[in-house]
Chains A and B, each alone.
Chain A
Amino acid sequence: MSFDWQKILESKRALRRDLAARPIGEKLRLLDALRERELAIRGRAVHPRSSVLREEPPPYRTKTK
């Protein structure tokens, strides 16, 4: 373990590269697990929606140039 910021950043980049290079089947299984975890976390959230700042315009534009 290191507290050198450059080493920490490089370690994070290496982890991302490692995850990206995994077989797609494995990455899709990780997506399943991530979604389950996110749903569990959202289920425990107690803040009222009105106090949450959200950015949700339509996901894909219909306008073309």
Chain B
Amino acid sequence: MDVKKVITVINQMQADGVIERYAVGGAVGATFYLEPIATLDVDIFVTFESAPGSLIASPQRIYDYLTARGGTIEREYIVIAGWPVQFLPPTGLLVAEALQESVVKDVDGTPACVLTAEHLAALALQTGRAKDKARLLQFVESGVLDAVRFQAILARHGLLEAWQKFERQFLHDPP
């Protein structure tokens, strides 16, 4: 079980032209900015070209590439280095922007493309499950968010109302 190996494999897949751009998201992405957050899988946001003659982007090339190198498919995941990895195409404008503005971090000499803290926090707010709210609170409490940048993302993607609700729920002292 080696999440760094997962990143190495995905870097190689990118170098081989199977995917265009990728970025680590979810709990693993958040761990680049916060304390380690226990998780069972790795979320990789990814863009890839459509197959020739098709308008629909398909992850088939990713699956073919990885299974040829020892990966195994389990439901919607492909298991690499002991970790179930889920490849997520940009299904909305926020994810597309997050992927476009992802940053490269160094993991003991291995480059890793990761979503920014502000985009991870905005995605947590948009997704809105209990665990996402807990993660958003961790981002806020840790002080790693650039407030101006975060607010701009919220404004661009219609999340200001959700943020105000979150603030009322979790960040304001009760009367």
Contacts and interface: CB of A to CB of B under 8 A. Distances in A.
A60 B130 contact: no
B168 interface: no
B4 interface: yes
A6 interface: no
A19 B35 contact: yes
Central interface residue in B3, B36, B43, by most chain A CB within 10 Å? B36
Interface string B20-46: 000000111001111111111001000
Nearest to B126: A61
Interface string A16-48: 110110011101111110111111000000000
A25 B2 contact: no
A24 B93 contact: no
Contact of B92 (A20, A35, A56, A60): A60
A60 B40 contact: no
A23 B40 CA distance: 21
A20 to B, nearest CB: 5
A31 B31 CA distance: 8
Nearest to B38: A34
Nearest to B32: A24
Contact of A64 (B3, B27, B43, B93): B93
Interface residues of A, number: 29
B127 A16 contact: no
Central interface residue in A20, A28, A32, A59, by most chain B CB within 10 Å? A28
Contact of B34 (A20, A29, A61, A62): A20
B165 interface: no
B35 A25 contact: no
Interface in B36-90: 36-40, 43, 83, 88
Interface of B: 1-4, 26-28, 31-40, 43, 83, 88, 91-95, 105-108, 112, 123, 126-127, 129-130, 142, 157-158
Given A20-B142, A60-B91, 15 more contacts: A16-B142, A17-B142, A20-B35, A27-B36, A28-B31, A28-B36, A31-B28, A34-B36, A59-B26, A59-B88, A60-B126, A61-B126, A62-B92, A64-B93, A65-B158
Interface of A: 16-17, 19-20, 23-25, 27-32, 34-39, 55-57, 59-65
